[in-house]
């Protein structure tokens, strides 16, 4: 069991002793019982921090935002920034360091173990018809405060899919860690949802994805929330290409438009498939993209597919080590090549 | 025209609308969205994730197609939307109010033909909210009401086993006349019950924007407030809030080539989004709204100040979608309250 | 479906976009030409510096612009001008192929081959085979823009 007071004390002490610039954590939002990300910079703000089943956000995104902010303002950071990181958040932080987005010394990882549970999938709770005003961890259960009083639900019934299949709920990479290591507590075998989907024949799979891609409204929540989608230029924003005084009108007009603005099936599909391929070997299955999708496109299946290919064909595990090679910038002599004529 | 419709007669009414396309909220992919009704309409929805604005202002609208063959003048083929008459059932009052805002924008100094061609064929059959649809409803804070008929052609109120159906416009009357005998006459008791239901609905607790009349002036005074950046600190810069807003109407116009020789393509209007980093990007590379704080300020000020200055009403209708669907807790009610409480 | 079938049997000619590495396959295709080897003219070649330089984006983009099939061809393993480009391509292309199959796009629409500068005959065979395999699939409409 994680003691919230420990988390707050840790944050408070580090800020008070001027060991870190800020602490990226969770606080209560004004949207019902949900948590929201926050960056605290003063010791007295430490009591705002919370830890409950709605802390689903992958906070390593804010390490990226922090880096971008520093670069934009040309500020220099003498102190590291601290982050409250679950197992998945720690893995994506590792990928960011592996890609030299920042260095290990730039970040102080306050690991939190997800222990017996994971985090909540709000949609599953809504489906159960539960309107709660508060949520808390308790052993293998979530406890919700509702109008009818306290309601205890086994976590696995409303836990996020990714948590059910999580192989590493304990943040291996950390400076300090709160909670116990319960790795191996996995409730479903990895890729359970993926395997279920793959039982469909190609025609049915196509029908499924055709429908899903058509529904996309291109709000780019999936891209915006992804810590790995840190590119300054994204192929979907034709105008975010760097333009200088020397860029000619011709150059601007003749930029390759890989993807049009129209949210049609073909464009949406190209966007999502490009994104999936760009995340291959980098996505650590925090599944934030699927959570934030307002129209519920099951993006996790796509990312899972790539993750499993990487694992089974290339023996690659994303987020495993800071110094290791990246999936698509490395190779083995034994890589499969039978498909090549 | 005011009538009574037994709940089990709703499908009969829909069936009677043979020369109308009918859409209604349907639960699909775990979300409520407006879909073709296929003869069955059940109005048990909380509000839809996407507002009905797409019926008159689709995310993609082709203006004309073009073709340039060497040695010939370019050829333009205008494309007018061919919209069938469309009745949309189950529209909540906040979205009805949204339609009024959209109509105002697209008919103000310039009448947008594309919008109008679609809008004039859309009829909204509203459904009053007997209780708030979610924890983030605040329509009463922005001049709306959960039982308002603003923007509707017909307003229905759920009275348990029956609907109280009231026509609001001539189109609404036509819709009800088409139903003919499926409707009954309201009894004195029904009218009493309607009054009570509406009064109860108005008394339901909602979230609130404080001192809402003073908001436009206070926002004007807080343009340079450091709070904007602070409140947008968690914002990830996606466009969910505005794409799901019933009144956000910014758009972009692009040429989309379908062939390069000969040059062929379409000029297309697509929704644009003030939360995207490239929204106000200049050709020079300079961006006057260079951080998320400035973008949040734009969204909030447009709703609560600029729109107010231009049209004398708040653009926000209090549906709460932008709060509910925000993945990181950016909350427009909270933002407005926080920013304005710091001004005198 | 019947409409598509009819199209297949009449005068449907699959269009192939072939990304050929400058050092091997492009030269191989040249050799096929100067050797006067007969092979179908369905492939539009695009020369790239190395198969390792091919972004999955090229492949998706070709499909979006209406290609019925996409070929990626480069040097045999061990022969890469840049030592390891084709090793990297092999990995990347494997992922693309798997993803296309996963979403239900016919995997036969996408092919990779190793063709050296000396293998004009092989190049012609690769194209012949590809065209024959594409024919029964009919026009590619799944990723093609303008479908809706």
Nearest Cα of chain A lies from the Cα of B288 at a distance, in angstroms, of 14
Pairwise CA distance, residues A280 & C91, whole Å: 11
Task: Give the ipTM of the model, two decimals please.
Answer: 0.92
Nearest Cα of chain B lies from the Cα of A341 at a distance, in angstroms, of 32
Q: What is the pLDDT of residue C4?
A: 46
Contacts of C146 (CB under 8 A, 6+ apart): A264, A266, B258
Q: What is the pLDDT of residue C6?
A: 45
Same domain, yes or no, for A131 and A179? yes
Between A140-144, A184-188, C53-57, the lowest mean confidence (pLDDT) is in A184-188
The answer to whether residue B263 neighbours chain A at the CB level (below 8 Å) is no
Compare CB distances from A341 to C56, C90, C126 and report the shortest one's residue.
Answer: C126
Residues in chain C: 148
In chain C, what are the domains? 2-137 (3.40.50)
> In the structure encoding, which two tokens stand for residue C140, read together?
């590619």
The answer to whether residue C112 neighbours chain A at the CB level (below 8 Å) is yes
User: Does residue A337 fall inside a structural domain?
Assistant: no
Pairwise CA distance, residues C143 & C148, whole Å: 11
Same domain, yes or no, for A104 and A16? yes
Asked if residue A246 has pLDDT above 90, the reply is no
User: Does residue A285 fall inside a structural domain?
Assistant: yes
Asked if residue A240 has pLDDT above 60, the reply is no
| A239–B334 C-beta distance less than 8 A | no
**pLDDT tens sequence across A77-92:** 899 999 999 999 999 9
Same domain, yes or no, for A168 and A196? no
Counted domains in chain A: 2
Same domain, yes or no, for A88 and A147? yes
Nearest Cα of chain B lies from the Cα of A161 at a distance, in angstroms, of 15
From the list B304, B331, B135, the residue with the least C-alpha distance to B235 is B331
> To probe the interface with A, which of C69, C91, C145 has the most A CB atoms within 10 Å?
C91
Cα pseudo-dihedral B207, B213, B216, B218, rounded to 10: -90
Going residue by residue through chain C (148 aa), what tens digit of pLDDT does each one get? 344 444 445 689 999 999 999 999 999 999 999 999 999 999 999 999 999 999 999 999 999 999 999 999 999 999 999 999 999 999 999 999 999 999 999 999 999 999 999 999 999 999 999 999 999 999 999 999 875 4
Question: Got the DSSP string for B132-167?
Answer: -SSTT--GGGGT--TT--TT-SEEEEE-SSEEEEEE
Q: Would you report the helix, strand and coil content of chain B in percent, each value rounded to 5? A: 35, 20, 45
Pairwise CA distance, residues B228 & C38, whole Å: 69
Q: Which alpha helices (DSSP H) does chain A contain, by range?
A: 4-16, 60-73, 87-98, 122-127, 155-158, 161-164, 192-198, 202-215, 221-225, 249-253, 265-279, 288-292, 299-314
| A202–C101 C-beta distance less than 8 A | yes
Cα pseudo-dihedral C6, C11, C17, C22, rounded to 10: 150
| A288–B323 C-beta distance less than 8 A | no
How far is residue A2 from each of residues A50, A158, A185, B19, measured CA to CA in Å?
A: 11, 20, 17, 62
Nearest Cα of chain A lies from the Cα of B325 at a distance, in angstroms, of 6
Same domain, yes or no, for A171 and A225? no
Same domain, yes or no, for A174 and A29? yes
Asked if residue B253 has pLDDT above 70, the reply is yes
> To probe the interface with A, which of B240, B256, B259, B272 has the most A CB atoms within 10 Å?
B240
Nearest Cα of chain A lies from the Cα of C57 at a distance, in angstroms, of 6
From the list B135, B334, B316, the residue with the least C-alpha distance to B235 is B334
Same domain, yes or no, for A291 and A144? no
How far is residue B292 from each of residues A26, A233, A261, B228, B234, measured CA to CA in Å?
A: 20, 17, 22, 8, 9
Question: Got the DSSP string for A6-26?
Answer: HHHHHHHHHHHTT--S-EEEE
**Strands of A81-85's sheet in order across:** A35-40, A23-28, A81-85, A107-112, A176-178
Same domain, yes or no, for A55 and A121? yes
Same domain, yes or no, for A142 and A183? yes
Q: How many CB atoms lie under 10 A from the CB of residue B262?
A: 11
A contacts of C99 (beta carbons < 8 Å): 273, 276-277, 302, 305-306
- Give yes or no for a contact between B133 and B44, defined as CB atoms under 8 angstroms apart: no
Mean pLDDT of chain B: 93
| A331–C148 C-beta distance less than 8 A | no
Neighbour subunits, A (≥3 Cβ pairs < 8 A): B, C
**pLDDT tens sequence across B96-113:** 999 999 999 999 889 999
Residue where a domain terminates, one of A158, A188, A218: A188
Compare CB distances from A331 to C61, C64, C87 and report the shortest one's residue.
Answer: C87
Pairwise CA distance, residues B64 & C115, whole Å: 46
| A260–C112 C-beta distance less than 8 A | no
| A305–C99 C-beta distance less than 8 A | yes
| C60–A273 C-beta distance less than 8 A | yes
Between A265-269, A334-338, B231-235, the lowest mean confidence (pLDDT) is in A334-338
> Which class for B64: exposed (0-12), middle (13-18), buried (19 or more C-beta within 10 A)?
middle
- Give yes or no for a contact between B46 and B94, defined as CB atoms under 8 angstroms apart: no
> In the structure encoding, which two tokens stand for residue C65, read together?
């612009």
Cα distance from N-terminal residue to C-terminal residue, chain B: 48
Does the CA dihedral A59-A61-A66-A67 come out positive or negative? positive
Same domain, yes or no, for A164 and A31? yes
Nearest Cα of chain B lies from the Cα of A29 at a distance, in angstroms, of 6
From the list B156, B123, B201, B195, the residue with the least C-alpha distance to B2 is B156
Q: What percent of chain A has pLDDT over 70?
A: 95
Query: What is the distance, to the nearest Å, from the Cα of residue A88 to the centroid of all Cα atoms in its chain?
Result: 7
Residue span of the structural domain in which A3 resides: 1-188
How far is residue B319 from each of residues B4, B291, B334, measured CA to CA in Å?
A: 27, 26, 14
User: Does residue A123 fall inside a structural domain?
Assistant: yes
From the list B248, B246, B310, B303, the residue with the least C-alpha distance to B273 is B248
* B252: nearest CA partner in chain A: A261
* A240: nearest CA partner in chain B: B278
Mean pLDDT of chain A: 92
Pairwise CA distance, residues A150 & A136, whole Å: 11
A&C contacts, CB < 8 Å:
107
Q: Kindly report the pTM of this predicted structure.
A: 0.94
User: Does residue A336 fall inside a structural domain?
Assistant: no
Instruction: Give the mean model confidence (pLDDT) for residues A17-46.
Output: 96
Same domain, yes or no, for A101 and A151? yes
Instruction: Give the mean model confidence (pLDDT) for residues B5-25.
Output: 94
Same domain, yes or no, for A149 and A61? yes
């Amino acid at each position: 069991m994680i003691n919230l007071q420990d988390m707050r004390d840790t944050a408070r002490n580090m800020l008070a002793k001027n060991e870190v610039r800020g602490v990226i954590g969770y606080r209560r939002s004004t949207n019902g019982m949900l948590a929201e990300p926050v960056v605290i910079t003063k010791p007295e703000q430490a009591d705002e921090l919370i830890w409950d089943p709605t802390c689903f956000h992958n906070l390593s995104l804010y390490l990226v935002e922090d880096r971008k902010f520093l670069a934009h303002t040309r500020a220099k950071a003498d102190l590291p920034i601290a982050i409250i990181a679950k197992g998945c958040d720690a893995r994506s932080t590792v990928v960011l360091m592996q890609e030299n987005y920042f260095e290990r010394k730039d970040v102080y990882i306050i690991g939190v173990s997800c222990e017996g549970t994971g985090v909540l999938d709000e949609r599953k709770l809504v489906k159960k018809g539960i309107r709660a005003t508060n949520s808390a961890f308790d052993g293998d259960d979530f406890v919700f405060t509702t109008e009818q009083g306290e309601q205890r639900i086994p976590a696995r019934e409303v836990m996020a899919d990714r948590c059910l299949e999580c192989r590493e709920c304990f943040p291996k990479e950390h400076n300090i860690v709160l909670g116990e290591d319960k790795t191996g507590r996995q409730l479903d075998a990895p890729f359970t949802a993926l395997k279920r989907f793959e039982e469909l024949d190609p025609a049915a799979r196509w029908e499924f994805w055709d429908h899903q891609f058509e529904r996309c409204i291109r709000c780019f929540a999936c891209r915006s929330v992804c810590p790995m989608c840190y590119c300054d230029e994204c192929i979907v924003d034709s105008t975010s290409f760097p333009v200088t005084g020397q860029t000619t009108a011709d150059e601007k007009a003749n930029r390759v438009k890989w993807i049009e603005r129209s949210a049609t099936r073909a464009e949406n599909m190209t966007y999502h498939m490009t994104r999936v391929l760009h995340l291959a070997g980098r996505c650590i299955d925090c599944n934030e993209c699927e959570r934030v999708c307002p129209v519920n496109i099951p993006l996790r299946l796509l990312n899972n597919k790539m993750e499993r290919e990487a694992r089974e064909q290339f023996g690659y595990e994303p987020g495993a080590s800071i110094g290791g090679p990246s999936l698509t910038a490395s190779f083995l002599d034994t890589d499969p090549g039978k498909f090549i004529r | 025209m005011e009538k009574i419709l037994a709940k089990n007669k709703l499908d009969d009414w829909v069936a009677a609308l043979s020369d109308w396309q009918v859409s209604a909220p349907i639960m699909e992919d775990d979300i409520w969205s407006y879909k073709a009704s296929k003869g069955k309409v059940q109005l048990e929805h909380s509000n839809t994730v996407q507002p009905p604005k797409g019926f008159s202002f689709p995310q993609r609208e082709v203006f004309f197609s073009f073709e340039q063959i060497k040695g010939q003048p370019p050829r333009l083929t205008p494309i007018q939307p061919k919209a069938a008459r469309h009745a949309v059932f189950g529209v909540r009052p906040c979205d009805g109010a949204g339609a009024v805002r959209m109509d105002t924008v697209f008919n103000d100094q310039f009448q947008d033909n594309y919008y109008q061609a679609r809008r004039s064929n859309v009829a909204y059959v509203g459904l009053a909210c007997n209780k708030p649809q979610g924890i983030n409803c605040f329509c009463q804070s922005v001049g709306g009401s959960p039982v308002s008929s603003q923007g509707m052609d017909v307003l229905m109120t759920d009275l348990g086993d029956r609907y109280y159906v009231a026509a609001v416009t001539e189109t609404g009357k036509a819709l009800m006349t088409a139903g003919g005998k499926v409707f009954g006459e309201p009894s004195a008791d029904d009218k009493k019950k309607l009054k009570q239901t509406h009064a109860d609905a108005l008394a339901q607790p909602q979230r609130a924007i404080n001192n809402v009349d003073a908001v436009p002036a206070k926002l004007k005074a807080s343009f340079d407030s450091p709070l904007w950046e602070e409140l947008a600190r968690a914002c990830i810069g996606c466009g969910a809030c505005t794409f799901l807003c019933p009144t956000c109407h910014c758009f972009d116009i692009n040429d989309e080539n379908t062939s390069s020789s000969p040059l062929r393509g379409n000029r297309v209007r697509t929704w644009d989004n003030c939360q995207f980093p490239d929204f106000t990007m200049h050709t020079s590379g300079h961006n006057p709204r260079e951080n998320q704080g400035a973008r949040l300020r734009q969204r909030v000020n447009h709703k609560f100040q600029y729109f107010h200055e231009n049209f004398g009403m708040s653009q926000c209708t209090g549906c709460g979608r932008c709060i509910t669907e925000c993945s990181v807790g950016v909350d427009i009610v909270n933002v407005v309250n926080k920013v304005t409480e710091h001004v005198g | 479906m019947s409409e598509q079938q009819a199209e297949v049997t009449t005068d449907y000619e699959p269009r192939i976009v072939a990304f050929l590495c400058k050092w091997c396959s492009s030269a191989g295709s040249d050799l096929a030409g100067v050797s006067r080897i007969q092979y179908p003219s369905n492939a539009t070649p695009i020369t790239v510096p190395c198969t390792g330089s091919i972004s999955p984006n090229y492949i998706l983009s070709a499909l979006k612009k209406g290609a019925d099939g996409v070929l990626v061809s480069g040097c045999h393993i061990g022969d890469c001008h840049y030592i390891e480009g084709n090793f990297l391509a092999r990995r990347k292309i494997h992922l693309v192929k798997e993803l296309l199959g996963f979403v239900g796009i016919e995997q036969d629409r996408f092919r990779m081959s190793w063709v050296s500068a000396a293998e004009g005959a092989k190049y012609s065979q690769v194209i012949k085979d590809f065209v024959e395999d594409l024919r029964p699939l009919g026009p590619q409409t799944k990723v093609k823009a303008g479908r809706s």
